[in-house]
Chains A and B, each alone.
Chain A
Amino acid sequence: MLKFLRRNFAGYAFLSPWLVGFFLLAIGPILASLYLSFTKYNVVRPPQWIGLEHYFYMFEFDDRFKKALQVTFTFVVISVPLKLIFALGVAMALDKGIRAIGWYRALFYLPSILGGSIAVAILWRQLFNYEGVVNSVLSLIGIQGPYWLADPDYALWTLIVLAVWQFGSPMLIFLAGLRAIPQDLYEAAEIDAAGPVKKFFAITVPLLAPVIFFNLVLQMIEAFKSFSGAFIISGGSGAPLDSLLFFTVYLYNEAFSFLRMGYASALAWVLLLIIALFTIVAFWTSKYWVHYENERG
């Protein structure tokens, strides 16, 4: 017993802040949130058990919930691939010892580091104003831009552009991944008379697949979680006509504007399950298309 204690003491001592945090701020809240999702709770009166009612209501009657799902999925499905394509394209242009790479890298990464800030969200609102800069630029080439922020058909695009603009961090990860591809593979391919397109699909893509996969999972989770941009640009409500009603925005309003904590908890659990599902699917399908370097054939 004493020996057991001594062997484990240091490890658990160092781990203790994390352990407290894990139980109090992570796993505890997750379980509490599951419980709350089965109750009616408005902070003032104690939770009242109602079973699965919230979940039934959500899927049967709640059109805003469905709208929120639709908006979020559309955003994820369009913005993540665009972002990754951009990131990979720029990373490939930056690869192979180009001059001033440090400058380019820094410039391309800058938006990612500022992108989450309220300042940028505010800026975006002005850029996409009907009389804003984006439409001014479009009018230079003879296009009359839409009411970006007021037209439900276009509002989401402002956020997609905002997301794609922040392609910096997947780009850096791609860059590191490209560096890890042995140069002699390309030389061998050149001797085998492969053109640039062939080289890209026969060498770059398969060898970069683990990195692409990593970026895909990471960016998908990030996209599902994104909040401040949509919150600020939609004025906090998901307007116009709920076309910016991101799942997180809906959840926030249910919880903190209408104090429907129980229902918001149910929404939170749906979000958790969606993200978990996407992650699992990504991992599960990865074995069909991801080639790991140390894998034995």
Chain B
Amino acid sequence: MTDVSASTTAEIAREYRAERARRAKRAAVLKHIFLALTSLIMIYPLIWMLAASLKPDTQIFGDIGLWPGTFEWQNYAQGWNALPVSFTTFFWNSTVVTVLSVVGNVISCSFAAYAFARLEFSGKTIWFALMMMTLMIPYHVVLIPQYILFMNLGWVDTYLPLIVPKFLAGDAFFIFLMIQFFRQLPRELDEAAMIDGCSPFKIYWAIIMPLSLPAMATAAIFSFIWTWEDFLGPLVYLNDQADYTVPLALRSFISSDGVSQYGPMFAMSILSILPILLFFIVFQRLIIRGIAMSGLK
């Protein structure tokens, strides 16, 4: 008797478990369908742009298809030379500005972050609060006085207004990100280094920096992406087309009334975001961790 009832309980339990597993599986499938559809919608415009860059002009508008009937590779060649100045120059300009900005940001922001996270000095709390406040200040508010300042220095139509501020730790976001990272490193390391005869600079250089490579890389990547995409700065400071960065050059496609050049325009658009895409693919992990780290904690 007891034997029988025991086996039925076990059966019911098994049944119940199986039912639960089935339901969980169904939920997972539904979730995947939802996520896959959403991500398709999300990504569709970008793929469409890629396709459009290879379509003949007449096929672009209203064509929701993602497969160009004929591949118009010369869109790229045409686009490259569509403006009076070739895109070789624009890419070179962008590269110069971006590389110098990244270097400046990483050095100057890590300096400030090291001071805030590791050194003792009077007034530290006040400076820290002020630094956090600058996170909120919109660029538009400081834009005009900065413009007047750089104009008086004779820096308009040069890259200096775009690069020099990066060496002055202008982006509090990076300082904040690095402070968060530095604080995770045990303080006893600094102290051991102090006893080992390190100056504060040596501690920064030989201990903190080598141990913070992920944070430095994250800051460098974001700095790269934002500088590469930056539009307002170049728009205000660069007037000569030969000095344009890639985003400014792209804008010339719309304003120069070369209305019929949609294919070449998209070709150059694709090329302009290519470096960012590559960075994103390679450093995806660091980027995503960087967002989560600076956002929380």
Interface residues, chain A, CB within 8 Å of chain B?
4, 7-8, 10-22, 24-30, 32-33, 36, 43, 90, 93-94, 98-99, 102, 104-111, 113-114, 116-120, 122-127, 129, 131-133, 135-137, 140, 165, 169, 172-173, 175-177, 180, 211, 214-215, 218, 221, 224-225, 227-228, 231-232, 235-236, 248, 251-252, 255-256, 261, 264-265, 268-269, 271-272, 275-276, 279
What residues of A have a CB within 8 angstroms of the CB of B111 in the complex?
14-18
What residues of B have a CB within 8 angstroms of the CB of A232 in the complex?
251, 254
CB <8 Å contact, A11 and B45? no
CB <8 Å contact, A261 and B144? yes
Q: Is B215 an interface residue (CB 8 A)?
A: no
What residues of B have a CB within 8 angstroms of the CB of A131 in the complex?
61-62
Q: Is B83 an interface residue (CB 8 A)?
A: no
Partner of A224, one of B35, B60, B138, B225: B138
CB <8 Å contact, B169 and A18? yes
Which of A114, A140, A211 has its CB near the most chain B CB atoms (within 10 A)? A114
Interface segment among B10-18, B68-76, B261-269: the answer is B261-269
CB <8 Å contact, A93 and B63? no
- Going nearest first, the 3 A-B pairs with the smallest beta carbon separation are A11-B121, A21-B168, A29-B145
Partner of B229, one of A15, A118, A231, A261: A118
**Residues of A contacting B: mostly:** helix
Q: How far is the CB of B71 from chain A (nearest CB, A)?
A: 19
Q: Is B143 an interface residue (CB 8 A)?
A: yes
What residues of B have a CB within 8 angstroms of the CB of A271 in the complex?
138, 140-141
What residues of A have a CB within 8 angstroms of the CB of B165 in the complex?
21, 25
Which of B31, B131, B231 has its CB near the most chain A CB atoms (within 10 A)? B231
The closest CB in chain A to the CB of B124 belongs to: A11
What residues of B have a CB within 8 angstroms of the CB of A211 in the complex?
295-296
**Residues of B contacting A: mostly:** helix
Q: How far is the CA of A110 from the CA of B115 in the complex (A)?
A: 34
The closest CB in chain A to the CB of B116 belongs to: A15
- What 1/0 flags go to B269-294 for Cβ under 8 Å of A? 11011001100100010011001100
The closest CB in chain A to the CB of B265 belongs to: A122
What residues of B have a CB within 8 angstroms of the CB of A11 in the complex?
115, 119-121, 124
CB <8 Å contact, A136 and B64? yes
Partner of B137, one of A14, A28, A272: A272
List 25 A-B pairs, Cβ < 8 Å.
Answer: A7-B120, A7-B121, A10-B119, A10-B201, A17-B168, A22-B131, A25-B146, A25-B168, A25-B170, A26-B137, A93-B31, A94-B35, A98-B35, A104-B35, A105-B288, A106-B284, A107-B39, A111-B42, A111-B43, A118-B251, A119-B247, A122-B265, A122-B266, A133-B48, A271-B138
